[in-house]
Structure 1
Amino acid sequence: MPQSKLSKSKPNIILVTTDQQRWDALNYNRPGTALRTPFLDAMAAGGLNCTRAYTTCPVCIPARRSLLSGLHPQTHKLYGYQDGLDWEAPISCPETLGRNGYQTQLIGKLHLHPQRKSYGYDHQIRVESPNDRGDTILQNVNDWAKDLKRRGIEHPNHSGIDSNGRAARPWDLEEQYHLTSWLTDRAVEYVTEYRDPTRPFFLHLSHWAPHPPLIPPQAYWDQYANHGMTPAYGDWAPDLPWRPGTADTNAIGPFREDEIEDMIRGYYGLVTHIDHRMNHFMSRAFGYGSPRAHEPTVIIYTSDHGEMLGDHHLYRKSLPYEASAHVPFFICWRNMDLKPGAFDGLVSLEDVTATIFDLCGVAQPEQYNSELEGRSLVPALRGEKCHTRDRLFGECTGVGTHNYMIEGPLKYIWFERTQEEQLFNVLDDPDETHDLSGSHKDLLPNFRKHMADYLKDRSDRHYDPSQCVPCNNQPPKVFWEKHL
């Protein structure tokens, strides 16, 4: 077999990100459901699977800033969804790798402004959405829609299914034209035809799915016809009826049961489609006879945030709950002497860049000395003791503007508008069905102290521990005050 000219000293890096994939939307993380992710499960099982990985701002653009730079929202200063913002990244993973000999390529979603700004990528294939928004200011670049138009498909998504809605149905074109398939095919082309074989490469394959529109190809829609999966409802969730007229994009329910059934069906159909396309990509890129088969290569898989998917009568992202903030995160490899296993330390998206730098022999930026910023997971990959952080801080402005903090098994949540607090043991109660804020008030002072210190210099938050009100296992008024 012909050997690659690539030096063995630096591994190829493949970063695969999905959009809106919750932690348990990987069967390996929560076996026993109807979800099918056999290929991703095998990758996670054969690598380092991070069981406690979180996004520190569970919405697209801030999370992607952290992915690109390894910087926490407290540092890059974006705490919620705000499109159209110019940003001079003080640290850029692809730019840094490029200066250290890597060829860098983005395929898919970046969601940073302006769309053609390189942020250090040598080349980009950009698709922000399955909706063709060529006549808009913020998302007029869509290389997928442009390619399909060349093939005579004038509008690739004319189903009327909203990019933030709960409605679901099968994709109405051939599977090869689906965005997940198309992006994977571009990644195969890059690795097999367009990369420089004399240099290590950094490929960021950035999927839109399973973010709505919930329109998987027909075969994947059919797989989940009788899925039997239902949302998790905490005993603190309200006992309210579905309200006719609830908008399709509304983040706060309750929602219709048949609507939830279809929503879950479409969402998990998209996840399984990603699983199969990852199998296709790895087979084509590194399969039998490939000149790349002997190259050292690291694959990192994660998501920018999760999806509530009806849990606790809530939908979409941005919230502090496990379904929204807890994400899949695993690292696997080829032709490298690393140690598989599970890692249960607190991990965040900031750790992606720090780990990549360490793997590639790049010095860690001085900003990473703060506990908020990225931490390398390479010690864990070597089977050594690895300490990431004692506590993890997250937040998001928007629906239920909040801050959250995780320390040990406990997650503390504070909602700014109502000053309400919740407390969950997320190890014993991963569905967050029981709020401990009323029954374990003795635990709150520690969290209040650290949260007050975290927010002490913030002009956009007004945190006063004396004004905090435990929800005491009752529905947070921040969501349902008008209906309770």
Structure 2
Amino acid sequence: MLKPKSGRPHIILITTDQQRGDCLGINGNNDLETPNLDHLASRGVNFNKAYITCPVCIPARRTLLSGLSPDTHGLRHYQDGVDFDPPATLPGCLRDAGYQTELIGKFHMHPQGKRFGFDNITLSETSNWRPKSPYQKRNDYVRWLQHKGVTQHPHYQGINGNGRLVAPWGMEDSLNWNNWVIEETTELLTQRRDPTCPLFLHLSFFHPHPPFIPLQHYFDRYLRKDLPDATIGEWAPLAPAQGLSADAVAGPFDVEVMRRAKAAYYALINHIDDCIAHILEQWMGIPELAQDPAYILFSSDHGEMLGDHHLFRKSLGYEASARVPFFISGINTEINSGRTNELVCWEDVAPTLLDLAGLEIPECMDGKSLANHVRGETSIKTRDHIFGQCFSAHSNLWIVTDRWKYIWFPKTNEEQLFNLQIDPNETKDLSATAHEISEMRILMAENLSTREDVSYVVESLTPCGNKPPKVFWGDRK
């Protein structure tokens, strides 16, 4: 393998926010256009079963940064304003090894501005500027707009930042948040990069997270398509819902509203795909970077229910919410390309990238290196299941194996069971009929054996039995 002057490969970590695992063309989505990411994934290792163990923004991003599980880093739900002081971080380890460490985009750590091992962070959590927020006052994107003479608030559309409603981006295309990322990255590569050391660059896009405000031409592209309706399981309710808030978690939702939401969601992903292509073109236009080896890891912090089973947003253990795209590719590197069904999670990102950089993995990290897949070495199965959780109004804990998905709702003591091998879309709940639920209960009990905040008593469990979970819909049928 070629080596840069520094002796270590460059590393590019690209993350999106709220992108489902099935939302890449190469992952079987025939309606979504992601040719650039598809090409990268085809030349690398594509992990089909990648999960977020607490599928909401801040806990997931703590895990990405530190390699720690939610149980270890202490945040099992969404909460702003909580200090974080991990024993080691991915950028900190790389910085100590001589890397220039840079982040551009969303970070969502507290206190805002703390670098956690990055030499520099160019920061914008969202286009929705909140100058009076105690947690998100800083927004470098807005400062960039102001330097261009734009005084209008970029979130003037009023579209909810967690909702299903849609409006096209109304300002000039060149003023879009994604284009800010392109401009800042180009400036880094051409003006601020230290040519004497390797670069660790985290490109952190905040879309396709709502607000759903795509550029008009991308939105039109998907409005013209005959997009399939959301997947509705046999266990979801039939009765229509009225008077729902714009950011409601549980429907049923208006079919036309959800069609527009899916079109906007796909449009935002398509735009990011084009932005990534532009940034990599800039990278390849710099001779020394074009000749150096670099690893690229792409993933997302959680998915989006997008109306599946009449549910919306994230935080749930269902595939649409907890499973994410995850692949490792590269430039001037020898990668044993292909697909794998090994169970992986965001705890694995930091150990993997440190391993690929030739560095020791701190013992404190909970994740496992996946570098053996990249190098084509004999694969050793790292885990037989993944345990996930998120505490909220609809608190849920879940186990996923090669075949089964088990979900427990502690507030109602309900449980669901899905056979992912024959029912990957989780349309039939087998909790009342499959004897395998006993094995999944054992795994759940083992993961909760030292916990005092929840009480998991098998004798008190209520299988949903292919009926709507009361945690979402009460006694509705």
**Alignment correspondent of 1:361:** 358
**Alignment correspondent of 2:21:** 23
The reply on whether 1:402 has 2:399 as its aligned counterpart is no
Q: Is the 8 A contact 1:106 1:203 kept in 2?
A: yes
Name the aligned partner's letter for residue 147 of structure 1. Answer: W
SS in 2 for 1:7: coil
Name the aligned partner's letter for residue 49 of structure 1. Answer: N
**Alignment correspondent of 2:169:** 171
The structure 1 residue matched to 2:446, chosen from 444, 453, 458, is 453
**Alignment correspondent of 2:231:** 232
Name the aligned partner's letter for residue 439 of structure 1. Answer: T
Find the aligned partners of 2:85 and 2:142 in 1 and give their Cα distance: 28
Written as runs of structure 1 = structure 2, the 5 A alignment for 1:141-220 is 141-154=138-151, 155-220=153-218
**Alignment correspondent of 1:332:** 329
Q: Deviations over 1:372-402 (max 9, x none)?
A: x211111111112322211110000113201
Q: Is the 8 A contact 1:6 1:197 kept in 2?
A: no
**Alignment correspondent of 2:108:** 111
Q: Is the 8 A contact 1:263 1:309 kept in 2?
A: yes
**Alignment correspondent of 1:343:** 340
**Alignment correspondent of 1:443:** 436
The structure 2 residue matched to 1:96, chosen from 93, 97, 112, is 93
Using structure 1 for the length normalisation, give the TM-score: 0.95
Find the aligned partners of 2:134 and 2:112 in 1 and give their Cα distance: 10
Find the aligned partners of 1:61 and 1:269 in 2 and give their Cα distance: 25
SS in 1 for 2:27: coil
**How much does 1:192 deviate?**
2.4
**Alignment correspondent of 2:373:** 380
Name the aligned partner's letter for residue 404 of structure 2. Answer: L
The reply on whether 1:127 has 2:124 as its aligned counterpart is yes
**How much does 1:459 deviate?**
2.0
**How much does 1:417 deviate?**
0.5
Find the aligned partners of 2:321 and 2:230 in 1 and give their Cα distance: 13
**Alignment correspondent of 2:383:** 389
Q: Which structure 1 residue ranges, 5 or more long, are not aligned?
A: none
**How much does 1:196 deviate?**
0.5
Name the aligned partner's letter for residue 125 of structure 2. Answer: E
Q: Is the 8 A contact 1:393 1:403 kept in 2?
A: yes
**How much does 1:7 deviate?**
2.4
**How much does 1:101 deviate?**
0.7
Q: Is the 8 A contact 1:318 1:399 kept in 2?
A: no
SS in 1 for 2:400: strand
Q: RMSD between aligned alpha carbons?
A: 1.4
**Alignment correspondent of 2:467:** 474
**Alignment correspondent of 1:87:** 84
Written as runs of structure 1 = structure 2, the 5 A alignment for 1:406-425 is 406-425=400-419
Using structure 2 for the length normalisation, give the TM-score: 0.97
The structure 1 residue matched to 2:294, chosen from 279, 286, 297, is 297
The structure 1 residue matched to 2:40, chosen from 38, 43, 49, is 43
Comparing 20-29 and 448-457, the one that deviates more: 448-457
**Alignment correspondent of 1:222:** 220
SS in 2 for 1:53: strand
Find the aligned partners of 2:172 and 2:288 in 1 and give their Cα distance: 31
SS in 2 for 1:28: helix
**How much does 1:8 deviate?**
6.3
Name the aligned partner's letter for residue 376 of structure 2. Answer: G
**How much does 1:456 deviate?**
1.8
The structure 2 residue matched to 1:279, chosen from 277, 293, 297, is 277
Percentage of identical aligned residues: 45
**Alignment correspondent of 1:54:** 51
Aligned length: 473
Q: Deviations over 1:37-88 (max 9, x none)?
A: 1111111111110000000000000000000011111111110100000111
Q: Is the 8 A contact 1:169 1:221 kept in 2?
A: no
The structure 1 residue matched to 2:259, chosen from 228, 249, 261, is 261
**How much does 1:367 deviate?**
2.6
Name the aligned partner's letter for residue 88 of structure 1. Answer: D
Q: Is the 8 A contact 1:93 1:353 kept in 2?
A: yes
Name the aligned partner's letter for residue 27 of structure 1. Answer: G
**How much does 1:97 deviate?**
0.7
SS in 1 for 2:236: coil
**Alignment correspondent of 1:352:** 349
Find the aligned partners of 1:482 and 1:445 in 2 and give their Cα distance: 26
The structure 2 residue matched to 1:138, chosen from 135, 141, 153, is 135
Q: Is the 8 A contact 2:43 2:335 kept in 1?
A: no
**How much does 1:469 deviate?**
1.2
**How much does 1:109 deviate?**
0.7
Q: Deviations over 1:143-199 (max 9, x none)?
A: 001110222222122111111111112100111111112112212221222110110
SS in 2 for 1:292: helix
**How much does 1:242 deviate?**
3.1
**How much does 1:482 deviate?**
4.9
SS in 1 for 2:143: helix
Find the aligned partners of 2:347 and 2:284 in 1 and give their Cα distance: 28
